[in-house]
Structure 1
Amino acid sequence: MRKVRNKKVIDKISYKSFRANRTRNVIAIIAIALTAMLFTTLFTVGIGTAENFQRQTMRQAGGDSHGVFKNITEEQYEKLSRHPLVKESADNRLVANTVENPEFLKRHMEIWYYPKNFYGHHFIEIIDGKAPEKAEEVLVDETSLKLLGMKAKAGQQITLLLKIREGQEPVERTFRISGVIRSDPALDVGFTVVSKAYLAEHQEELQYTYDQDTSPVGAIRMEIVFQNSQGIQEKLDKVARESGYSTKEGEKNYIASNANWAYISESTSGDPMTVAAIAGVGFLIVLTGYLIIYNIFQISVMKDIRFYGLLKTIGTTGKQIKKIIRRQALLLSAIGIPCGLFVGFFVGKAIVPMLLSHTIAGNSDSAVSMNPWIFVGATVFALVTVFISAGKPAKLAAKVSPVEAVRYTEGKRQAKKQKKTTDGGKISRMALSNLGRNKGKTVIVIVSLSLAIVLLNSIFTFTNAFDMDKYLANFVSSDFVIANAKYFNSEYSARKEDLQESNLTESFIEACEEQEGFEKGGRIYAATDQVGVKISDYKIPKNMPVNENGELCWMWNGEKIPVTKLNEENYQTMYYGVDDFLFEKMEVYEGEKDLDVIKEKLATGNYLIYAVSTDDNGMVRKEDMVHHAGDKVTLSFPNGEEREVEILSVIKENYYGLSTRYSVIFPYYTTAEVFRKDLSEDYLMSYSFDVRDDREEAIQQFVKNYSEKTEPTMNYESKLKWSNEFESLKGMFTIIGCFLTFVVAVIGILNFINAILTSIVTRLRELAMLESIGMTKKQIIKMLTLEGIYYAGFTMISSVLIGMLMSVTILRVLTSQIWFMKYQFVIWPMLVTFPFLLVLGWLVPKAAYHFQGKKSMIEQLKNED
């Protein structure tokens, strides 16, 4: 077969045809831009969130180095740093166990030595001054200076109370601030950085003693950077072994190491719910984009089918016609996709902080880089969607024969058997018949409109399932909790030696009880180093793990960790004493449930309540239960007394309301009176209380001011705080969901407008014929508006059916998997949209005919295809 060089001709026909379809082009470009925008937004949010989470994880891990060798000597550091796999390393050191300044109680400070060349790896940004060089020079973060009442300026003097090692008296040292570093808003920790000269001047107090007392002060924390982040732990082990050290714990030359959490998280599989959510959004975008773009090209092809038929009569092949349509799709994409990429990136950039505001990265300065994969991924997905959408219409144009094309009428089928009827000429029936002329187009328009309505209803069903009572029950059991600031910073110690620094003051309690609106409250006492469970009398349950020595253990990261012992004969317990008010907040899982009976029996000192841990849904972790109701254990007290007690009830753990906020194996509860008799009233941990609803905000303002000005070592939490967080979380999902619904709705409306507009354009001659046989313009407009209303009616029916089915299946299952949600059937959002849908169905056909049907009947009839 002779090959004809007709590429330029095909290109020219494609371009001319493209210019002739201006209305189609505008709608298609908008549709492609919206689809590209959605893809870009999805990629921006996904990649931006991942970047921020990784950056935040690095900050929490202490830096972006790949791994660390912990608590090593200078000699070990020198050997390890010479290994060829090590690209960069730093000999970081903690130079004091704690900084004891009272201003740092609610936001504690750490004091470290970091090599200057490693500042960047620790995200140290000097905003004023320079790095320290002399022994008396330091870097201090700006927030810590603010807490001390100082300005964020270099050159000032600062006095710090340093407790070098645990058990030692604090040492007062004065430094000169050589530079101020930017505070990390995500970390509630301050930092002071000393110079190399400081290590030399205080080398005696910074001697390595980790092998004697496990003190990290003076020991080197060796940060390592490799060539890449692949196989970090394997590289760390290889460096250790080839430097002459062991990686097996317990051996004499063992060195502990671990890979940076941020890089570990990259290699782990994503959360199934997150993956499913992203996949669902991606599918929704592809579907909505496909619906409109496919419909645009299908309608365009049907409109120009005679044109393609004429091309075939002069020898154009089906392959060349496909090429013409694909080239037009490419031209439309070249205009629409860049617009979508531009808008989508900035939309995604605005959404990322909203998403992160309720995560571990919520307090950090979120930033989204212009990662090229955002634009590459969005472009590829948008192009694929466009070419899939244009594929079927292109095949239709390529397969039609010249004769069929010239005689083609939308919806024309083989002749059917005639049916006699007396209402066939009714306008309403004619309008309904017109929808059935091209059932595929009608279905696509209805589906695209229904999709937006179903999505809107789903968003409101999802957010309506947010149950504040379930959410608050996980965090609060009363209106207010007051305690020492260390309690809320997870630094609370229930040990006798730390009572003065960690406990709540009676003066704070009295101040709260004097407030108007105070109703009732109760104290919680806690001690962790006073009461033990006698090991010899305790029978380990079958569900609890034991090690090779038969010792009771608990599981951590797949490893068996022996339970902490008070001494050789006793397991350590957390012994609580609570006032009557707190018994009302307990949820009994097993055993005695009558509160009066519980309080009466506990008062004898021969009974205890045991708390078992629960999951996010409040379900008891049976594998963690060390007691059942009726079990008997022997308690050992500081005065040498041993007392056999019975587990009266098992309650569900109330982590935020009734505990020290760290988990233990043996948490026991008795009455406050019994506790004080067994130990003393010095172990006062916290005080919970309720207030009148109308005084809640006023009392919150009072405790805020009191804890900031009168007793700054005290702090509080309130139900209002968690309520505000809940509303913010709910609002975030609502805003993002409504934005997505809005875009899908715009696509659906564009699809509807395009379908109506092109339907009228392709039928102008037909409408003129109807007018020539006596049909008035008013009747034609009525027929067209009825078509639009039928579209709206079928959309409402399909929306209700699909929406209800989706609600009782997918959404019911989804909300049941989230602990603070309670499914409720919702249909009102769909009902609200229906009047607007009817108005749209009436208005669009009327407006379209007004603009397209301006020519007279004679002029329309004279038009030749």
Structure 2
Amino acid sequence: MRKVKNQKVIQKLAKKSFKANGMRNRIATLAIALTTMLFTIIFTMGLGTAETLQQQTMRQAGGDSHGVLKNLTKKQYEKLRTHPSIKEEAPRILVADRINNPEFLKRHVEAFYYPEYHYPHCFTKIIDGKAPKKADEILMDEVSMELLGLKKEAGQQVTLKMQIRQNEEEIIDRTFTVTGVTKADPALNVGFVTVSKEYLKVHEKELSYQVKETGSSTGSIYMDVNFANSRGIQEKLNKMIKESGYSVKEGAKNYISSNANWAYISDGTEKDPMTFAAAGAGLLLILLTGYLIIYNIFRISVIRDIRYYGLLKTVGTTGRQVRRILRRQAFWMALVGIPAGLLCGFFVGKALVPKIIERSAYQAAEVAVSANPLIFIGAALFSFLTVLISTRKPAKIAAKVSPVEAVRYTEGAELGTTGKRGKKKSQAERQKKSTDGGKIWRMAWSNLSRSKGRTTVTVLSLSLAIVLLNSVFTVTSSFDMDVFLKKFVTTDLQIANARYFGIDQYYGGDSEEVKTENLSESFIEACEAQDGFEEGGRIYSSTRFGLMADSWEAPDYIPHDSKGYYRTYGAEKDYLRKDENGAYSTSTVLYGLEDFPLEQIDVYEGEEDLSVIKEKLKTGKYLIYSTSTDDNGKVEPKEMMHHSGDKVTLALPDGSRREFEILTVIKENYYGLTNRYGIEFCYYTVADVFKEMESEDFLMSYLLNVEDEKETAYGQFVEDYTITKEPLMGYESKQKWLDEFSGLKNLFVLVGGTLSVVIGVIGVLNFINSVLTNIVTRRKEFAMMESIGMTKKQLLQMLILEGIYYAVITIGVVLIFGTLFSATAIRALSDGLWFMRYHFVIWPMLAACPLLLILGVAVPYLAYAPQRKNSLVEEIRRNE
């Protein structure tokens, strides 16, 4: 075949056809824009949230370096830093295990040295002043200075109470000049002090390497490293260590510990198929939504203009050229729709990201959604792919139609099937068996079934949004507030020393140290005297007890090796260590409960009657044992150290031994009834027995309930009290977790509702386009029906009935498919999340039914209104 240069002709034909389809172009462009908007929202939310969370996780991890090598000597550091795989490195040196100023009780402060070139990697931003140079100069964050009662200005002096090593009781008071004030991260309840290099020289002796002797990291070097990229960080660290002559095997003589920065998503997401599955499902949903409308628009357009394409075929236009004409038109619409969708979608997604972050563990984080090119490239590519897929079949139909088929085509006939599927029944033959075919309702139903493909696509696009919206409300209705709260809180309020709720926590391991971490009786008295108080009770706690190893017969399922019994944390083993007396003293904690907190226990095994439990505990011969649970609150059988009836012997603080029987096994109440350390052997007795064996100074916390109508005022009282009267005390309220729960529900509604609305608009556009095109392409048919006596009113009734049929079919599909989807997929999701209990919801689908019926009536009425003004003669002339 001879090749003819006809590019300009094809382009001219495409332009003429494009200009002749103004309504189609507008609807299709809007559809492409909305589809692009959906893709952009997903990409913006995904990348924006990931970027923010990664940044905040880096801050918690201490910096944005790829990895760190821990507890190095100077010699090890000098050897490792020369490895060729390292792109950038810096030493970080801890100069004191603790800063013990009482003002820092509620906000832990750490003291480090790292070189000035490494400040950006540690997110150290000086907002006033400059970096320290002398031994008595430091950087300090703004919040820490406020806690000390100082202005956020450089040049002031501060005195820090430094405990160089935790095993040393000596506290050194050192006065420094603050040469620079650094910005504090609102997402971290941690302050930072940065010393100069000169400080290391002046205090070289006290910063000697003592990791093996004392276990303290003070003076050792943490080497931060960056590689060329963040792929396979841990593997690179291990390779670097081995090639430098050291070992990565724990326990080896030349062992060096290292870990990858867990903030780097690229180092772990490839191992999380659920993340990819969720993202893939979202993209496929949008792809399907966009496909349904764009495909339907072009299919209807092709059917409407089928005679035009047939005429092109008669003058020699090939099928390939017809496809090119349609693709050019689609490209021009995408050229307008995609940029508009990218712009709108980015700003909508940018507005949603802060809402998502608020519901994460980083609600105080600064959210900055950058205009990442990947957002726009990804959304544009997916949108353009949707357009190409959607126009492929309509273009194929137009390309394959023969001139004869095009001239003889009537809506509902199969194109390209002449001579292949046998003789079609004539209209007269189809109506032979009908005795009431002239009724308007039957005519409307017959018209609807003439184009089953268009009807199916329109119904699906309308149904999709309603099913999605119903799913969103089903998910949120399945959120169980009681289950959620039970995991975190069992009473209205919990008060304790501020350390209990902070990083330092309450430990109860020393008779003197406990006086700085226990709850004050004056705080309890103030709470009990406050209007609205109902009931409460004290919880005592001490880790000065130890389970005698020879009194514990370990169950077979507890893992062990030649070194003893252990628990695993990732790849590391944490052994149950015996002290010199043969007791597991570092793995044992005893709690003493007054009546009210004792009533909060959840019995799993053994005696269940609370009154019997109280009486037997008072004898001093019995204990309650607490075992760990999973996220769903179910006991992990292989985590149980004891069963009801077991006999155990405890080593008491005074050195004596005492035998007990395990009366009851209860489920762990981590947030309400423990010191939040997760110790293996966790026992409970009543408060009086506890005080017989241990000092009443070991007062850990106090649980209380408040009258419902006075909770708000009571909460305000406790907040004010811990700020003005006893700032060393703290509290946690049920309201905090209620707010967390409500925020989580609102997030689902916000994000899911936004997607549902956009998809709903696309569905409505599809319906409007179908009705409009249906009316335009059937003008000749309507004129013929008028010529044989059918009135315009009857025609309008027929079109309205068609719209109502669309609505009724959609309602049926929605109710059937929505119910099935809810009972399968949503139920499975609910069963997989610990805070959800499946609850069937149908009201969003029912609420959409009248809206669909209104849409089914209003759209045909408004679309046919202009044509009602034309006379029969005008319509016949127009079609001629």
TM-score with structure 1 length normalisation? 0.97
Give the corresponding residue for 2:779: 764
Correspondent of 1:575 among 573, 587, 590: 590
Q: Which of residues 452, 457, 467 in structure 2 aligns to 1:454?
A: 467
Identity of aligned residues (%): 57
Shift of 1:421: 3.7
1:268 Cα offset (Å): 4.2
Amino acid at match of 1:31: A
**In 2, distance between residues paired with 1:462 and 1:38?**
21
- Which secondary structure does the structure 1 equivalent of 2:822 belong to? helix
Aligned to 1:425: 438
Cα-to-partner distance string for 1:744-803 (whole Å, 9 max, x where unaligned): 100000000000000001011211221222222111111111111111111111111111
1:65 paired residue number: 65
Q: How many angstroms does 1:829 deviate by?
A: 1.1
**Greater displacement, 151-160 / 96-105:** 151-160
The equivalent residue for 1:404 is 405
Q: Deviations over 1:493-541 (max 9, x none)?
A: 221242011100111111100111211111111111x211111221111
- Check the 8 A contact 2:135/2:198 in 1, yes or no: yes
| 2:736 alignment counterpart | 721
Matches within 5 A, 1:237-276: 237-263=238-264, 266-269=267-270, 271-276=272-277
Q: Does the residue aligned with 2:561 lie in a helix, a strand or coil?
A: coil
Q: Distance in 1 between matches of 2:359 and 2:217?
A: 33
- What is the alpha-carbon distance in structure 2 between the residues aligned to residue 265 and residue 397 of structure 1? 46
1:436 match: 449
The residue type paired with residue 582 of structure 2 is E
Counterpart position of 2:417: none
- With over 3 angstroms needed to count, the CA separation of the structure-2 counterparts of 1:402 and 1:150, relative to structure 1, is same
The letter for the 1-side match of 2:410 is T
Aligned pair in 2 of structure 1 residues 605, 828: CA closer, same or farther (>3 Å)? Answer: same
For residue 557 of structure 1, report the CA deviation from its aligned partner: 0.8
Deviation at 1:270, TM superposition (A): 5.5
- Structure 1's 356 and 566: CA in aligned 2 closer, same or farther, altered over 3 A? farther
Q: Match of 1:199? A: 200
Tell me, what secondary structure is at the counterpart of 1:716? strand
Q: Is the 8 A contact 2:231 2:266 kept in 1?
A: no
Tell me whether 1:594 sits opposite 2:595 in the alignment: no
Matched, 1:730 2:745: yes
- The Cα of 1:566 is off from its aligned counterpart by 4.3
Distance change >3 Å, CA 304–CA 98, structure 1 → 2? same
In structure 2, the partner of 1:546 is 560
After superposition, where does 1:17-96 map in structure 2 within 5 Å? 17-96=17-96
Residue of structure 1 equivalent to 2:370: 369
Name which of structure 1's ranges 498-507 and 531-540 shifts more when overlaid on structure 2. 531-540
- 2:295 aligned partner, one-letter code: Y
Q: CA deviation at 1:242?
A: 3.6
| Distance in 1 between residues matched to 2:186 and 2:75, nearest whole Å | 37
Which residue is 1:609 aligned to? Answer: 624
CA positional deviation for 1:642: 1.8
User: Which one-letter code corresponds to 1:506 in the other structure?
Assistant: E
More deviation, 409-418/75-84: 409-418
* CA distance 1:462–1:182, change in 2 (3 Å): same
Aligned partner (choices 584, 609, 633) of residue 618 of structure 1: 633
Q: Is the 8 A contact 1:105 1:713 kept in 2?
A: yes
For structure 1, list consecutive stretches of 5 or more residues without a partner in the other structure.
Answer: none
Q: Is the 8 A contact 1:64 1:122 kept in 2?
A: yes
Measure, in 1, the Cα distance between the counterparts of 2:270 and 2:526: 51
**Residues 388 and 265 (structure 1 numbering): CA distance in 2 closer, same or farther, change over 3 Å?**
closer
In structure 1, distance between residues paired with 2:209 and 2:546: 34
Matched to 1:387, the amino acid is L
Contact 1:435 1:442 in 2 (8 A): yes
Change (3 A) 1:347 1:197: same
How many residue pairs align between the two structures?
A: 863
CA change 1:423–1:597 in 2 (3 A) is: same
> 1:10 — aligned with what?
10
Structure 2, unmatched stretches of 5+, are: 415-423
Deviates more, 1:840-849 or 1:205-214: 205-214
Counterpart among 791, 803, 817 of residue 776 in structure 1: 791
Structure 2 residue 513 is matched with structure 1 residue 498: yes
Structure 2 letter corresponding to 1:320? Q
Partner residue in 2 for 1:165? 165
Instruction: Name 2:712's counterpart in structure 1.
Output: 697
Does residue 291 of structure 1 match 2:292? yes
- Measured on the aligned residues, the alpha-carbon RMSD in Å equals 1.6
Paired residue secondary structure (2:672):
coil
- Using the alignment, how far apart are the partners of 2:674 and 2:4 within structure 1? 85
Q: Secondary structure at the match of 1:474?
A: helix
Aligned AA for 2:723?
Answer: E
Query: Which of 813, 821, 829 is matched with 1:798 structurally?
Result: 813
**Partners of 2:246 and 2:785 in 1: CA distance:** 95
Offset at residue 596 of structure 1 (A): 0.9
Compared with structure 1, are the counterparts of its residues 380 and 232 closer, same or farther at alpha carbon in structure 2 (3 Å cutoff)? same
Instruction: Name the aligned partner's letter for residue 38 of structure 1.
Output: L
Following superposition, the deviation at residue 733 of structure 1 comes to 0.8
Distance 1:564 1:27 in 2: 72
1:6-50 deviations in Å (ceiling 9; x for gaps): 121111111110111000000000000111111111112122222
Q: TM-score with structure 2 length normalisation? A: 0.96
- Aligned CA distance change for structure 1 residues 54 and 533 (closer, same or farther; 3 Å): same
Kindly indicate whether the alpha-carbon contact (under 8 Å) linking 1:760 and 1:852 is maintained by their aligned counterparts in 2: no
Range that drifts further, 415-424 or 220-229: 415-424
Residue 426 to residue 110, structure 1, CA distance change in 2 (3 Å): same
Supply the AA of the counterpart residue of 1:778: K
* Secondary structure in structure 2 of the residue aligned to 1:192: strand
Q: CA deviation at 1:852?
A: 4.5
Deviates more, 1:24-33 or 1:558-567: 558-567
1:253-300, Cα deviation, whole Å (9 max, x unpaired): 332222222237633445454433322221210111011001000000
CA–CA distance in 2 between the matches of 1:122 and 1:851?
A: 68
Q: Which moved more, 1:101-110 or 1:168-177?
A: 168-177
The 8 Å contact of residues 54 and 262 in structure 1, kept in 2 or not, is answered as yes
Contact 2:494 2:733 in 1 (8 A): yes
Contact kept? 1:547, 1:560, Cα under 8 Å: no
Measure the CA separation in 1 of the matches of 2:90 and 2:439: 87
Give the match for residue 415 of structure 1: 425
1:182-221 mapped onto 2 (5 Å cutoff): 182-221=183-222
Residue in structure 2 matched with residue 856 of structure 1 by the alignment: 871
Matches within 5 A, 1:115-126: 115-126=115-126
Aligned positions of 1:209-358 closer than 5 A: 209-263=210-264, 266-269=267-270, 271-358=272-359
Structure 1, residues 58-79: CA drift from partner, whole Å, max 9, x if none?
2111111122221222222222
Higher mean C-alpha deviation, range 156-165 or range 611-620: 156-165
Native 8 Å contact 1:86 1:224 kept in 2? yes
For 2:853 and 2:717, locate their aligned partners in 1 and report how far apart those are by CA, in whole Å.
Answer: 54
Aligned to 1:467: 480
CA, structure 1 residues 89+109, in 2 after alignment: closer, same or farther (shift >3 Å)? same
2:491 aligned with 1:478? yes
Partner letter of residue 178 of structure 1?
Answer: T
Kept after mapping to 2: 8 A contact 1:58/1:260: yes
The 8 Å contact of residues 101 and 161 in structure 1, kept in 2 or not, is answered as yes
Q: 1:420: Cα distance to partner?
A: 4.2
Residues 490 and 601 (structure 1), Cα distance of their counterparts in 2 relative to 1, 3 Å cut: farther
- Matching residue's letter, 2:589: M
